[in-house]
Chain A
Amino acid sequence: MEIAGYPLRRLRARVTEGIDAPLFALALALAAIGLAALYSASYGNASRVAAQLANLALALAAMWAVAQIPPQTLARLAPPAYAAGIVLLVAVALFGEVVNGARRWLNLDVVRFQPSEMMKIAAPMMLAWYFHRREGSIRLRDFALAGLLLAVPVALVARQPDLGTALLVAAAGFYVIFFAGISWKLLAGLAVLGLACLFPLWSMLHDYQRRRIRTLLDPSTDPLGAGYHIIQSTIAVGSGGIAGKGWLNGSQTHLEFIPERHTDFIFAVYSEEFGLIGNVVLLALYALLIARGLTIAASAPTLFSRLLAGAVTMIFFTYAFVNMGMVAGILPVVGVPLPFISYGGTALMTLFVGIGILMAIHRHRKLVQT
């Protein structure tokens, strides 16, 4: 068979080139679960599912495109991407649109765009690029400088204010620093210092952020306000039981007790309807995805690709853990989506670009290893 004079087999080879089958299958399985939960959360209204399918198609195209880029090119792209991200964040601070009291969006007429989102990838890329250049002679001051490179975007995002994204960007950068070999003693010291900083940090938090932390410690103090989210999502998870109430049968979901059920709290919808069995399946899928990512990092040829693959994989983990922990009531409510499952085009795009990066690193694992 031929299409436009192109043998079908070669066309298929061209399309699947660079696509890592296990990663692809795992991400798609998660996305499929997401569409099912989204359909239930929308009370059987297909329009939101259709919109998410369009987001998914766009994200897959981005993943494929990124998977074709050799890691050396990614490394070259790191400084300009980082610089562009900083410029955009400053632009947001100056001209951004205010939505829900936070200045996060940049309106480019055609699309509204959240520059903080691209920092989740651009910041670890920049740090990996820096350590790669200093390979063989990485000293203490390199870690200090990397910390500075990370602190700038984190501070800009935190000021918007968007604590959730700021923490994720910080975590992404931290993973690079960790994998680059920061000494355990220093790490322990930083941890102690961090705990010591908690107190002054508390005074710097916005009111709504403090309320969220207080609410986590005792949700029942505010049953009609912020605590309502946690109480209701915990009831949803708990009442799901072992086997769940069945797809489209979650009473918590369908009686509108779950807030933000399409986005940050979609796990409550899923967990209520699919129960403990569904949760185990979900945890297993994430664990396999992370294992695959760490394997790719272990066999990556250059320092840059090792650090980036490790950091990207751990970002997936952070997303999943923070979101599920929040819904299950063991972590504070921060605006972190459940990876591949929550509704929203921007987050999906970032995640699949991350998958694309892993694929690109995996595909080029032998090219430079001479």
Chain B
Amino acid sequence: MSFAELKNHQIELRAFQLRLGVAGFLVLAAFSALLARFVWLQVLEHDAYRAKAEENRIAVVPLTPSRGLILDRNGEVLARNYLAYTLEIFPAQVRDLERTIAELAEYVDIQPRDRARFRKLLQETRNAESLPIRTRLSDEEVARIAANAWRFTGVDIRARLFRQYPHGEVASHAIGYIGRITTQDLERLEEIEVQANYRGTDYIGRTGIEASYQQELHGVTGLERVEIDAAGRGIRSLSRTAALAGNNIRLTLDIRLQEVAERAFGERRGALVAIEPATGGVLALVSKPGYDPNLFVDGIDPQSWEALNTSPERPLNNRAIAGLYPPGSTFKPFMALGALELGKRTPRTTIHDPGYFVFGDRRFRDSKPGGHGTVDLYKSIVLSSDTYYYMLANDMGIDAIAGFMKRFGFGTRTGIDLEGEAAGVLPSPEWKQARYSRPEQQKWYAGETISIGIGQGYNAYTPAQLALATATLANNGDMFRPHLVSYVDNARTGERRFVEPQLVHQLHLRPEHVAFVKNAMAGVAREGTSARSFAGAQYSSGGKTGTAQVVAMKQNEKYEEEKVAEHLRDHSLYIAFAPLESPKIALAVLVENGGFGARAAAPIARTVLDYFLLGKLPKAPKQAAPEVAVETGAASD
């Protein structure tokens, strides 16, 4: 290092040290300011602040509003609240949770199920004030704990409102259930900035109407200013702003109709959606099997949760709005209408049905061996000729089919007021292009159009979509958004906010075409594939049977039901509307693995229509599910 550099270095070092000095001075100045502030607060203003701290004995306690009720269209209560005592633990104040629980178990019955649920709640809840270890205490248990309260810290008995679903499993998928608020829920509530209103609220709607109308049902949290003593216990109430109870929700659903429908299913899996065509009001929404929503009310225990989640019957899955099924032959009336509207067929056009349709080197078989002979449009619906619709699909082409079916809502969410609705698949070349990644899979083959015509192939819709399409047809092409809620009822003010029928769109169909298809569907119930199920009906109805293949049959294989495993058997479907003139109800029924549509689904539709139109209850449960071998000949499916 030269002398000049060294000197330079010394200058730089001195400059640096000067700046260190400045920094040190800054630190001293800042700390002096802090010190001055401390002296101000803690010496000069100490008396004032001490007084404030003394006065600071007012705690603001949230008052939880009671949750709104859910009622059916006739005022029958579907979800209500009742008061019960719970034994609660304040985890922050308890040193040894396990020991405290063991000690509590000496006074009240605490099952392993309760412990498991408590642990689950402890994990899921952030900064929980208190968590229930036992709910619904008996009076005797309350007395025993109260007498020994001095033994415990961080334990308290509280009176709380509990949710109850008096109808149990019935309509569980429509009503839904509530569950305890989890950390994720809190974050979501913070995002929509309503967390302040949820102070003190433990429960939130998880599914069904309980979830989709959560904000209406919740109400407005009140608050009470309470004077507390040095130990933090409340002494007296200073002021009170009462909580405003949540609004009651009145449904369009008829719980008795729903009960009839669910009973008609028996032990079978499936779904039913019944809609009032002129308004879109949902009269019944069945998904079987159901589950008991009361299980969820005070936190479901892990065993029951596991059982519901792992059951192969998938009871938590709402098949009515999230289950996707090929519509089978219930697609044919819409195909027929499309053919008329697009001028591809007239009522007089006939074809010859030899029992199969040949396209390229493939042979598409009719479900009736030997075929139906000469078939016109009317007969094609009444007897459900497959060959007729193979040809029709080929003549219309996939773009025309997809374009027409889209207008009926196929492959589009219906917009029903429930969460978790599936969109389904309306097959088209564009859909296939987007769905698959490999070029050879993306191409649409003309042969794939053929089975689309009979509601097979890539077709996959929810029962709700099928019901909406049927209701739209019944309503002469005016589509109303399906909805479960009739009105929101403010019990305090008596104000009722009605859900106005919402016209989604008008299809502008030619009246004579609609009349023709409706008449053909009446023929189905009168003399066609569902004539046996509708024998002796005191009202006129239109319908269509359907059978949806679960497994594809090989070219020369014959479907023999008894040889196929239960869960691979065909699904049974039926769509219907009644009465024929000015329909009051339109529905879609699906019975999973129920076999022919005429056998499993049509009788359920008959039972539901009988009750809805005539108030007639089914005589014996057996009538609802006749296990009679299907008559061959007239019924092709």
Contact = CB atoms under 8 A, between A and B. Distances in A.
Contacts of B43: 241-242, 276
A294 B20 contact: yes
A286 interface: yes
B527 to A, nearest CB: 63
B289 to A, nearest CB: 37
Interface stretch (B28-36, B114-122, B362-370, B395-403): B28-36
B20 A242 contact: no
Given A238-B42, A240-B42, 8 more contacts: A45-B92, A178-B19, A271-B38, A279-B35, A306-B16, A321-B30, A321-B31, A330-B37
A287 interface: yes
A100 interface: yes
A330 B191 CA distance: 30
Interface string A324-365: 110011100000000000000000000000000000000000
A314 B22 CA distance: 12
Contacts of A298: 16-17, 20
Interface string A144-188: 000000000000000000000000000000010011010000000
B439 interface: no
A136 interface: yes
Nearest to B22: A178
Nearest to B33: A330
A100 B190 contact: yes
B97 to A, nearest CB: 11
Contact of B27 (A46, A100, A290, A297): A290
A235 B35 CA distance: 16
Contacts of A317: 26-27, 30
Interface in B566-594: none
Interface stretch (B52-60, B440-448, B557-565, B627-635): B52-60
A74 interface: no
B126 to A, nearest CB: 11
Contact of A238 (B17, B24, B26, B48): B48
A255 B20 contact: no
A239 B27 contact: no
Contacts of A294: 20, 23-24
Nearest to A135: B12
Contacts of B19: 178-179, 181, 310
Given A101-B190, A317-B27, A234 B41 contact: yes
B598 to A, nearest CB: 54
Given A179-B19, A181-B12, A235-B56, A241 B46 contact: yes
B144 interface: no
A287 B16 contact: no
9 contacts: A101-B190, A181-B12, A235-B52, A241-B43, A255-B56, A256-B59, A271-B42, A324-B34, A330-B34
Interface residues of B, number: 43
A257 B228 CA distance: 12
Interface of B: 8, 12, 15-17, 19-20, 23-24, 26-28, 30-31, 33-35, 37-39, 41-43, 45-46, 48-50, 52-53, 56-57, 59-60, 92-93, 95, 187, 190-191, 228, 230, 232
Contacts of B228: 255
A251 B56 contact: yes
Contacts, number: 128
Given A254-B232, A255-B232, A283-B34, A237 B42 contact: yes
A257 B56 contact: yes
Contact of A251 (B16, B46, B92, B230): B230
Nearest to B41: A238
Interface in A212-260: 224, 232, 234-242, 251-252, 254-257
Nearest to B23: A314
A310 B42 CA distance: 33
A95 interface: no
B46 A239 contact: yes
A257 B58 CA distance: 10
B31 A279 contact: no
B440 to A, nearest CB: 34
A136 B190 contact: no
A255 B33 CA distance: 30
A239 B33 contact: no
A324 B52 CA distance: 21
A181 B41 contact: no
A202 interface: no
10 closest A-B pairs by beta carbon, nearest first, are: A238-B49, A239-B53, A238-B41, A276-B42, A239-B49, A239-B50, A241-B46, A279-B38, A321-B30, A235-B52
A280 interface: yes
Q: Which of B23, B31, B46 gathers the greatest number of chain A CB atoms within 10 Å?
A: B23
B95 to A, nearest CB: 7
B42 A321 contact: no
Nearest to A291: B24
Interface string A283-322: 1001100110010011000000010001000100100010
A340 B610 CA distance: 77
A365 B35 CA distance: 34
A275 interface: yes
Contacts of B232: 254-256
Contacts of B23: 175, 178-179, 294, 310, 314
A51 B387 CA distance: 74
Contacts of B37: 325, 328-330
A370 B341 CA distance: 99
Contacts of B191: 101
A350 to B, nearest CB: 20
A195 to B, nearest CB: 18
Q: Which of B23, B37, B42 gathers the greatest number of chain A CB atoms within 10 Å?
A: B42
B31 A297 contact: no
B426 to A, nearest CB: 34
A238 B56 CA distance: 13
